[in-house]
Amino acid sequence: MKRAFPLLLAVAAVMVGTLVRGAPLHHPILTYHGDLLRSGRFVVPDLTWERARSLHLDSGFHAEIAGHVHAQPLYWVPPGSGQALLIVATEENIVYALDAGSGRMVWKQVLGPPVERAALKCGDIFPLGVTGTPVIDPASGTLYLDAAVARPEGLRHLVFALALKDGAIVPGWPVNVTEALAGKEPTFHAHVQNQRGALALVGGTVYVPFGSFFDCGTYHGTVVGISASDPGKVRRWASRAAGGGIWAPGGIASDGTSLFVATGNTVGATDWSDGEAVLRLPLDLKHSTDARDFFAPTDWRDLDKIDADLGGIAPMLIDLPADKGPQKLVLAIGKDGKAYLLDRARLGGIGGALAITKVSTHGIYAGAAAYPMGRSVYVAFPSEGGGCPRTPSLKGLTTVAIRDGQPPTLAVAWCAQMDGLGAPIVTTTDGGSNPIVWAVGAQGDNRLHGFRGDTGEVLFDGPASGLAGLHRLQTLIAGQTRLYVAADDTIYAFTF
């Protein structure tokens, strides 16, 4: 398993390389938003601006699954096979492998009974099973995920490893997080620790982020690291103060040498204690309070009081084109409606952002997608107005432009109308041409929307009847010839 990390980086490098050279026949989607940078960027060579206008539901694709879906699907191509699989995990604690062309079920694995509403003091997902997006290790053909499972002793978080060839549980798994962290302070209370953020696989370790259920009970923002080759080796980072949950759908971002997470409000903290922050964590998860390793706004106490989590969207790692080589940046977007641009090498401590821009009058959460536009990088995210100069009350999608400078600048580029809170992605034909921002109006108009990435012009808006079974924060993916939207009991496939 020591070869897992180099091979994962190699696969990531191939995927990044396609942004310049064009995509291979099938590109796997191993993690949330397609890469550890959490860019949400996909290369689909034939999906031009013009062809996007003819997008339609694929009448030959039929997928039947059981349960609500909050986790993003993954896209796996078995070695030696030209047929891709969709990997879908549901809140019924069922994992499916579906033929990506037809929707036919190839295998399924039942992980255990989900947790019913009566067993939870608070929350908004019932029943509760798999919520955080899993991650694939391409070297071993293994899928890792966390499932909330109902046990006689109560809710337990079990981290599973499944063989992608047939869905079988890998020997030595699952890992019971409560048992693995027994005796460590602060105590991990499974019944108040929710797992919503995407998992990450870095350096042969599976990292699992935890937050809470609506600040219910005493919990701590937590990252659990489990050795992929020896699941008995478990390490943990936890916020010093109560609260500080890591709950954004993007979960953990990574540059391959460090982990980046964003935390929510702490409870009762008088001194800063890891809440309302962007944190760089080492792979061994040792704690640091060095200003190079964290950023928190100067008004973090006020954000705590009004539950305006900085962690509404996971950190995005941005490589901004510059004359002397790309600037390594981090973008964080909070529920306070502000976007914070940070130096990746030195996050800045309290108040040390490179740029801060108000981009919405309302809280921002879900996911964001980043893509190059000339010498700038654009980032699109769902919002509810306040940042658009010509349409200040517009509700829908906002895109900011990050431009080179000393320091780099951050400004709203364009906005578009969309009713609902789905996490956007971006497709291009070769890594730069024909950028299209896609998002579903989840729990709003429930439509799939496509916008030109340079101007925000509407390219697609349908179907008119909407898609049933969507949940806010829903994230779609782009395969080679289709866009896939996971929903309750089904998967929608759009083709062009």
- According to DSSP, residue 77 is labeled -
- Structurally, the chain folds into a number of domains equal to 1
Q: Is the peptide bond before 78 cis (omega within 30 degrees of 0)?
A: no
Buried b (16+ CB within 10 A) or exposed e, 235-273: bbbbbbbbbbbbbbbbbbbbbeebbbbbbbbbbebeebb
How many Å is the maximal CA-CA distance in the chain? 60
Is residue 297 over pLDDT 90? yes
**φ, ψ at 348 (rounded to 5°):** 110, -5
The residue ranking higher by pLDDT, 340 or 25, is 340
Structure tokens at 59: 């009448």
| 421 vs 313: CA distance, rounded Å | 12
Nearest to 283 by CA among 221, 342, 206: 206
pLDDT band at 135 (very low <50, low <70, confident <90, very high): very high
State the pLDDT at residue 393. Answer: 63
State the pLDDT at residue 1. Answer: 37
Structure tokens at 439: 């998002």
At a CB cut-off of 8 Å and minimum separation 6, what does 39 contact? 33, 316, 369, 370, 371, 426
State the pLDDT at residue 392. Answer: 64
Instruction: Read off the pLDDT of residues 77-114 as tens digits, 9 standing for 90 and up.
Output: 999 887 899 999 999 999 999 999 999 999 999 999 99
41-43/425-428 β-pairing: parallel
State the pLDDT at residue 360. Answer: 86
| % the chain with pLDDT above 90 | 84
CA atoms within 13 A on the CB side of 123: 24
At a CB cut-off of 8 Å and minimum separation 6, what does 116 contact? 126, 127, 150
pLDDT band at 386 (very low <50, low <70, confident <90, very high): low
pLDDT band at 3 (very low <50, low <70, confident <90, very high): very low
State the pLDDT at residue 22. Answer: 35
pLDDT band at 483 (very low <50, low <70, confident <90, very high): very high
| % the chain with pLDDT above 70 | 93
Is residue 475 over pLDDT 50? yes
State the pLDDT at residue 29. Answer: 98
State the pLDDT at residue 24. Answer: 41
Is residue 60 over pLDDT 60? yes
State the pLDDT at residue 473. Answer: 87
Instruction: Read off the pLDDT of residues 306-321 as tens digits, 9 standing for 90 and up.
Output: 999 998 899 999 999 9
Per-residue pLDDT averaged across 423-430, rounded? Answer: 97
| 15 vs 215: CA distance, rounded Å | 38
* CATH number of the CATH domain containing 81: 2.140.10.10
Decide: 295 and 276 in contact? Cβ < 8 Å: no
Mean pLDDT (the chain, rounded): 92
State the pLDDT at residue 364. Answer: 84
End-to-end Cα distance, the chain: 40
Range of the domain at 293: 4-495
- According to DSSP, residue 276 is labeled S
Place of tokens 């699907």: 73
State the pLDDT at residue 82. Answer: 79
User: Of 34-43, 157-166, 354-363, which range is least confident?
Assistant: 354-363
Per-residue pLDDT averaged across 187-215, rounded? Answer: 96
Place of tokens 């019971």: 176
User: 20: buried, middle or exposed (CB in 10 Å: 19+, 13-18, 0-12)?
Assistant: exposed
Instruction: Read off the pLDDT of residues 369-382 as tens digits, 9 standing for 90 and up.
Output: 999 999 999 999 99
State the pLDDT at residue 20. Answer: 33
Per-residue pLDDT averaged across 346-362, rounded? Answer: 93
State the pLDDT at residue 388. Answer: 79
